[in-house]
Amino acid sequence: MLAGWWIAMTMLAAAAALLLLGTRQDRTPPRVSRRFAEALKDQGMHLKSHVWLEREDGKARWLNRLERFSSGELEEMQRLLVQAGWGNQSTRLYMLAAAWVGPLASGLLAGMYAGMAGKEGTEVLSYMLFGFALVFVGMRRVLRWRAAQRRRAIRGEVVTLLHLLRMLFDAGLSLEHTLQVIDQQARSLIPNMAAELGVALARIKAGQDRADALSDMAAPLEVPELSDTVAMLKQVTRYGGNVRDALVEYTKLVEQRQISELREYVSKLSAKMTVVMVVFLFPALMIFIAGPGFIGLASALKGAQG
């Protein structure tokens, strides 16, 4: 039991040492902070704004530490967070922190439970490892499930997006104005796509090239229909031309593809329902149809014997 507690304390101390090491490496020098505060004061900025900036800078430093700490799976985590709609700085910070603090806390609680239950040292260690692995794998499974669900929702919204693009282009709007209209007025119709297009529109307003902003928006999502739509918009942005006919043809192609997938899903569902009917409905049907006959036969045999 004591050995298990010593192992738990050693693991917690190692984790704290790693976090403190990252804090010391990423800490802003006092001279830089002092000069930054003086520059803010010269500009007439209030102390509240200065505190807010320090808080945002602190979030960036913590996010940088967590990304370095989880460098082995950082690329996949970032991609999944973007696909799940949690790609901003605050959400990435909270998710990465929970991805490591949660398993450590779960392992510690499992070890405490095993220690209070009077388990031996090896059993305490096995409880801790099981608690750590359960939350560690579970959180990543949940993140993958959420990313897959949102990618499926975006894929279903692409057809509506294509119709909106065609109508707005027919009305004579430019690409940037079209994205702005969709971002402001189509959130109730295509909420996921409107959110992603809002991020791309913010990048365009910040000075990024329109084609590059759309590519950066579509690439992490890994939705083929959206990538093809962005490719058409990029071609129009760079070389000009009428995109209406291409949008109409591609909309028909996407609709036919989705109808084929829906038919395949219905055919698989009918096979599953056949199994359900055989397992649950067929016994009840046999009892209803053949039950009176079996009862009558049993009564006849009983009367013949008696």
- The reply to whether 268 falls in a domain is no
Q: What is the DSSP string of 49-84?
A: HHHHHHHHHHHHHHHHHHHHHTGGGHHHHHHHHHHT
* pLDDT at position 55: 46
Same domain for 32 and 124: yes
The answer to whether 102 and 135 have CB atoms below 8 angstroms apart is: yes
The residue out of 98, 117, 147 marking a domain boundary is: 147
Query: Measured between alpha carbons, how far is residue 108 from residues 104, 137, 144, 200, 201 in Å?
Result: 6, 16, 25, 42, 45
Instruction: Please classify residue 22 by burial: count the beta carbons closer than 10 Å to its beta carbon, then call 0-12 exposed, 13-18 middle and 19+ buried.
Output: middle
Distance CA 190, CA 141 (A): 26
Same domain for 118 and 169: no
Same domain for 124 and 8: yes
Domain enclosing residue 57, as ranges: 2-147
- The reply to whether 277 falls in a domain is no
The amino acid present at 211, given as its one-letter code, is A
Residue 33 predicted with pLDDT over 60: no
User: What is the pLDDT averaged over residues 69-76?
Assistant: 62
- The reply to whether 279 falls in a domain is no
The residue out of 95, 117, 147 marking a domain boundary is: 147
pLDDT classification of 11: cutoffs 50, 70, 90: low
User: What is the pLDDT averaged over residues 161-182?
Assistant: 87
- Rounded to 5 degrees, φ, ψ at 171 are -75, -5
Q: How does pLDDT run across 96-115, given as a tens digit for each residue?
A: 777 777 888 888 888 888 88
Distance CA 122, CA 3 (A): 8
User: What is the pLDDT averaged over residues 50-69?
Assistant: 52
The answer to whether 110 and 7 have CB atoms below 8 angstroms apart is: no
pLDDT classification of 148: cutoffs 50, 70, 90: very high
